[in-house]
Every structure is written in C-alpha cells, then in structure tokens.
Amino acid sequence: MNSDNALLIDMVRKLCKELSQTQMDATDGGSMSREHLWQKVEDFGLPYFMLPADAGGFDGGWATAAKLFQLFGEYALPLPVGETMIARHYMHRAQSLSPQELPKLEEVPISLAHCSDAIITLNGDVPLLSGALRNAAWTPQSNLLVSATIGDRSVLALLARDQLVTRSVCEVDTFRNTAAEPRAHLRWRRLPLTALWHMPTFTNLMTAGALLRSAQMSGAMQSILSRSINYALERKQFGRAIGKFQVIQHDLARLAEQVAAAQCAALSAARAADTEGGTEAAEFEIAAAKLRTNIAVAPATTIAHQVHGAIGFTLEHPLHQFTQRLFAWRSDFGNDRYWALTLGNSLRQLSGVDLWPFLTARSDRQVVARQAGDGDEDGTAGNSVNGSESRAHPSVG
C-alpha cells in the first residue's frame, strides 16, 4: 500500500471510531441524530471518495474503497456510507456522459439497487418508472440510485427521497432487518423520473452492492475475531484463561481462517473490479467473493458467540452489533442461492477442461495489469492473506 493510502485509511479509521463512539453514547440517552452523524461523513468528503480529483474527489479506485468498506463493517457504522460513495461514483460517470438536471438532493445518503423488472414509459418528455424492489437498503430514508435493463440497454435513475414517499405513485412497505437497519419493499407505478441516464455499457448496481457488502462483512468479521481473541485471553474459568483450552484455541483458529478467506475474497474482487474496468466486468470475482463471505457467516458468528458465553448474548455487549449485521447482510445484494446459481449457471457454459484455464486467465490478467499499471496498491500480487497489512496478525487489538 502506498503511504498516501495508508494515511487516508488511518484517517477514515479515526472517523469511524469517532462515529461509532458517538453513536453508542447516543443510545445511552444522548441525542446524537443520524443527520448529525451523516454531516460528519459529508464534512470529511467521503461520499466523493471515488470521484476524480478535478471533480473534488480522491480518485479512489475499488481496491482502496474496499478497504474503507471494511472499516465501515469493522466499526459497524449505522450509515450507508459505502452505498453513497458508489452512487456518487456512478452518478459522476453518468453525468459526464450525458448531463442531466438532478433533483435537489439534500446532504442525505444515496442508496443503491438494481430493479430487474423495470419498465419505462413516457409521458410527453417525462420518463415514468414502473417496477418493484424487495429488501431495498436504507430506503425510504435515503435517496436511491436504481439501475435497470430496458430492452438491451442499461439505464440509471435517481430517485430523490421525497419522491420515494409520494403515495400516489409509490407503494412503500418499510421494515427493519435482523440488525434493525431500515429496509423497504417498494413498488412504483409510473413514477416520474427527473434524472434518467442511458448508459453506454452494461450497468448493474447489484454487483457493486455485493462487493460493498462482501467487504463490509469481512470487516465485521475482523472485529468479531479480535473481540473473541481478546475475550478468550481475558476471561478465566477453571483457574485459567479460556483461551488456554485447546477446544477454544481450535475454534478461534477456524474463526481466523474464515475471516482470512472472507477478507482475501473481498479484496481480490475489488482489485479485479479495478483491473477489469468496473464491477460489472468483475462479476465473476464479486459473485465468488459475496458467496464466500456469505458462507463464512454461520461458522464465524457461531464461534464468536460460543466463545463469548452469556455476556455476548446481551443487548449491552457490542458483539451483536456485528453478528446481527452479518446475519442481515448475508441476504443483501444477493444471498447464497442467488450468487451460487449465477456462478453455477454461467460456469456450466464451460466444459470441464476449460475451467482451470478460465480461472487462471482471469486472475493472471489481473496480476499482470496491476504490475504494469500504477494502480497496484499493494506492491505485488502477494499482499497478505487477510488483506490488510496492519492486521496481518489479527491477534490483539
């Protein structure tokens, strides 16, 4: 990682620490509102992270962004920061291709979704959107950027928050997911769109969302691993730290393996998105990464809770902030069934002998591209397994 990135990641870590601390204080009777927290994110400039420098951004690619997504998971940020970063990135690209007049967005987050049954009709010049979304994240509190495929063309539509609650054209069924994050099922009937972009290349925000969640999940897993190790060294039973019992040691070893796999998968997929020219082109790697992090959820959360005993089962203890998010995020932007079928059905086009060349050609191309370009943030293909130099030994802290 170059030093600029290390510095930036450090600053974001500090911000995450501060925000998660403020948030926890707030639940203790303080009055820190979500709006207030979000303002700090805006002040930092995080939503614009993936924009070019001349557009006021940090020029952040997917690989660096994924490290930030991991931090959002590691600190259980109760805000759609990653969604907004990705939405701003797509909107900037769309705007530079075909500028549109944007609806007025307050400084509130922008969430992401892909609508697979969208229909667009016209009322005079005004495009109207019909379609439905299930389990849409952070709506209708946030604005929403939606991708859709109309015929053989991709479009992006931006829906401002106030539009999402217009009763006449929008049915909203809100609920809280397992981690008490806001979710909604939405149905639009001829919702007038103020901003609709026709995209020149295939665009699907579900894939970008899957990369985001996969990285967040690997970050949340890092947190439950460090917490579990610390607790095992601290908690004494039968006259010694429970971490001295071989069964506990082996459980924690298995937990560490799952975390390493999740982190390596998420970061490798993010690097693939950089070298393949976008998340859609890296759908194979992102599908594999989301599926692999999903698979890690059950063993990782089960072990973390087991090691923590009853205290970890209380509302007061922070463990559930991470484990509940992992339960919930497993279903976001494609659950296991979705990605396993997507992968399985696309691989079935290959014959058996072509599988290995397919796998290696993709990753080798990515390694070569990284070594040739300056986009190589880790120096070589040989970054550490769990992806983060500062955490190569995920022991204490």
Partner 1 sequence: MRALVDEKIRHMPAAQRAQSWTGFDANFSEHLGAAGFIGMHWPEHYGGRSCPAIERYIVIEELLAAGAPVGAHWIADRQSGTHLINYANPSARNACLPGIASGKLFFCIGMSEPNSGSDLASISTRAVRVDGGWRIRGAKLWTTHVTRAHMMIALVRTSDADHARHQGLSQFLIDLSLPGITVNGITDQTGEKHFGEVFLDDVFVTDDCLIGTEGEGWQQVNDELSLERSGPERYLSSYRLIPEFLDTLQVDADDIGACTLGEIVAELWTLRQMSMSVAGQICNGADPSLEAAMVKDLGATFEQELPHRIQACLDGGEDNIRYAQLLPVLDYLLNAAPSFSLRGGTREILRGIIARGLGLR
User: Are 263 and 304 a contacting pair, CB within 8 Å?
Assistant: no
Which range, of 19-27, 146-154, 198-206, 254-262, touches partner 1 by CB under 8 A? 254-262
- Nearer to partner 1 by Cβ, of 55 and 347: the residue is 347
Helix (H, G, I), strand (E, B) or coil at 111: strand
348 binds partner 1 per the rule CB under 8 A: yes
Question: Least distance from C-beta 333 to partner 1, angstroms?
Answer: 15
Cα 293 to Cα 322: distance, rounded to the nearest angstrom: 14
Q: Where are any strands of DSSP class E within 51-169?
A: 110-115, 119-123, 126-137, 143-150, 153-159
102 binds partner 1 per the rule CB under 8 A: no
> Quick one: which of 42, 135, 194, 336 contacts partner 1 (CB under 8 A)?
336
- Name, in order, each residue with C-beta under 8 angstroms of 298's C-beta and a sequence gap of 6 or more: none
Cα 110 to Cα 132: distance, rounded to the nearest angstrom: 18
> Quick one: which of 119, 126, 341, 368 contacts partner 1 (CB under 8 A)?
341
- Nearer to partner 1 by Cβ, of 187 and 244: the residue is 244
Strand order in the sheet with 126-137: 119-123, 126-137, 182-192, 170-176
Applying CB under 8 A, the site for partner 1 has a residue count of: 59
Largest CA distance in the chain: 78
Tokens of 324: 């509940």
Question: Least distance from C-beta 276 to partner 1, angstroms?
Answer: 14
Q: Do the bridges between strand 110-115 and strand 143-150 make them parallel or antiparallel, or are there none, so unpaired?
A: parallel
Site for partner 1 in 264-293 (CB under 8 A): 264-265, 268, 285, 287-289, 291-292
Question: Least distance from C-beta 168 to partner 1, angstroms?
Answer: 39
Site for partner 1 in 368-387 (CB under 8 A): 380-386
- Name, in order, each residue with C-beta under 8 angstroms of 293's C-beta and a sequence gap of 6 or more: 213, 214, 217, 218, 221, 262, 265, 266
Question: Least distance from C-beta 98 to partner 1, angstroms?
Answer: 36
Written as one string, the DSSP assignment of 196-212 is EEEESS---HHHHHHHH
> Quick one: which of 40, 244, 305, 317 contacts partner 1 (CB under 8 A)?
244
> Quick one: which of 153, 240, 337, 365 contacts partner 1 (CB under 8 A)?
337
Question: Least distance from C-beta 370 to partner 1, angstroms?
Answer: 11
- Nearer to partner 1 by Cβ, of 104 and 348: the residue is 348
> Quick one: which of 7, 119, 180, 350 contacts partner 1 (CB under 8 A)?
350
Cα 236 to Cα 225: distance, rounded to the nearest angstrom: 18
Question: Least distance from C-beta 394 to partner 1, angstroms?
Answer: 7
Q: Where are any strands of DSSP class E within the chain?
A: 110-115, 119-123, 126-137, 143-150, 153-159, 170-176, 182-192, 195-199, 236-237, 240-241
Site for partner 1 in 183-242 (CB under 8 A): 229, 232-233
359 binds partner 1 per the rule CB under 8 A: yes
- Nearer to partner 1 by Cβ, of 128 and 359: the residue is 359
User: Are 174 and 140 a contacting pair, CB within 8 Å?
Assistant: yes
Contact positions vs partner 1 (CB under 8 A): 229, 232-233, 243-244, 246, 248-250, 252-254, 256-257, 260-261, 264-265, 268, 285, 287-289, 291-292, 295, 336-337, 339-345, 347-348, 350-353, 355-356, 359-360, 363-364, 380-386, 392-396
